[in-house]
Amino acid sequence: MAHYQVTIAYDGTGFWGFQRQNAEGEQPNPMTGRTVQGEIETALRRLGWPGGTIRPAGRTDTGVHASGQVIDLFLEWRHSPQALCRALNAHLPDDVSALDVRLAPPDFHPRYSAFARRYRYTLYCQPDRHALRERYAWRVWPEVDLALADAAAQLLLGTHDFAAFGTPPRPGGSTVRTVWQAAWSATEQGLHFEIIANAFLYHMVRRLVFVQVLIGQERLSLDALKDSLAKGSPLPSGLAAPQGLVFCEAYYGLTGE
């Protein structure tokens, strides 16, 4: 039985997040709905997958997208990894696709083998909604000052306790994270925030975006963010909308791209 590393993309609009909410083999809970994990595992069973649980690089929330999610799986497959990629796509729904399949080292783990992850958030500033942009971006108004937002992003660089911005995957886990890159830029699609860190807390990116938007709208000071990072000072509650967030990439060094 071979060990595979699979890169997945999905449009999170129609999903209640990545993680399956029901036990293996059970029908989706009608009170929750589809999950990315559930759809992938259903497709794998049609290829002879023996079952179990696929492991992701990160668990995205309801409505969050991915262009570079990574999973691993064990499967008896007599053909090439490229053929497995095509076969998997033949059984996946239109809003999920396998981008790459490769053999993985025996000790590969999508989450624990990754030394960093990259997320991108998109928003646009407009008083009235735009039907074609709402699916993948958060509309905010008043306008966000790009220079102020980017100044806030620079404060995130380095190692900090991000307890005010999310919760750890495990109860009682550390809330200290190291941010290597964080910046805002303007594009035709709107304003992009990109961040690379060794790991993220639950809701961390959406929380960071929300606070930076307040700063860019001059509703919160840069000093308030500084104090929160240095002393844990409280900040206004809130999260950026999920549809603006994309999990872009996990970095694995020699074990993957």
31 pLDDT higher than 90: no
DSSP assignment of 88-138, as one string? HHHHS-TTEEEEEEEE--TT--TTTT-SEEEEEEEEEE-SS--TTTTTTSE
Measured distance CA(28)–CA(31) in Å, rounded: 9
Q: What are phi and psi of 11, to 5 degrees?
A: -90, 115
Q: What is the pLDDT of residues 93-126, one digit of tens each?
A: 999 999 999 999 999 999 999 999 999 999 999 9
Check whether 257 has a pLDDT greater than 50: no
H helices of 127-185, in order, are 146-155
Q: What percent of the chain has pLDDT over 90?
A: 89
pLDDT band at 255 (very low <50, low <70, confident <90, very high): very low
Angstrom distance (rounded) from CA 171 to CA 162: 15
**CA proximity to 17, closest of 42, 37, 44:** 37
Reference 54, options 91, 7, 93, 95; nearest CA is 7
Active-site residue, from 61, 95, 145, 227: 61
Q: What is the pLDDT of residue 243?
A: 98
Cβ-contact 98, 89 below 8 angstroms: yes
Q: Are 2-112 and 116-251 the same fold in CATH?
A: yes
**Residue 223 known to be catalytic:** no
Domain boundaries, the chain: 2-112, 116-251
Mean pLDDT of 4-22: 94
For residue 28, give both structure tokens: 């989706």
Q: Is the pLDDT of residue 25 over 60?
A: no
pLDDT single digits (tens) 127-166: 999 999 999 999 999 999 999 999 999 999 999 999 999 9
Helix (H, G, I), strand (E, B) or coil at 252: coil
Residue 67 has pLDDT above 90, yes or no: yes
DSSP string, 34-78: --HHHHHHHHHHTTT---S--EES--PPTT-EEEEEEEEEEE---
Average pLDDT over residues 73-78: 96
176-187 and 158-161: which strand pairing?
antiparallel
pLDDT at 28 over 90: no
Considering the four listed CATH numbers 3.30.70.580, 3.30.70.330, 3.40.50.2000, 3.40.718.10, the one that applies to the domain covering 2-112 is: 3.30.70.580
In this predicted structure, the answer to whether residue 26 has a pLDDT above a threshold of 80 is no
CATH class of 116-251: alpha beta
pLDDT score of 226 more than 60: yes
Degrees to nearest 5, angle at CA 194 with 151 and 177: 80
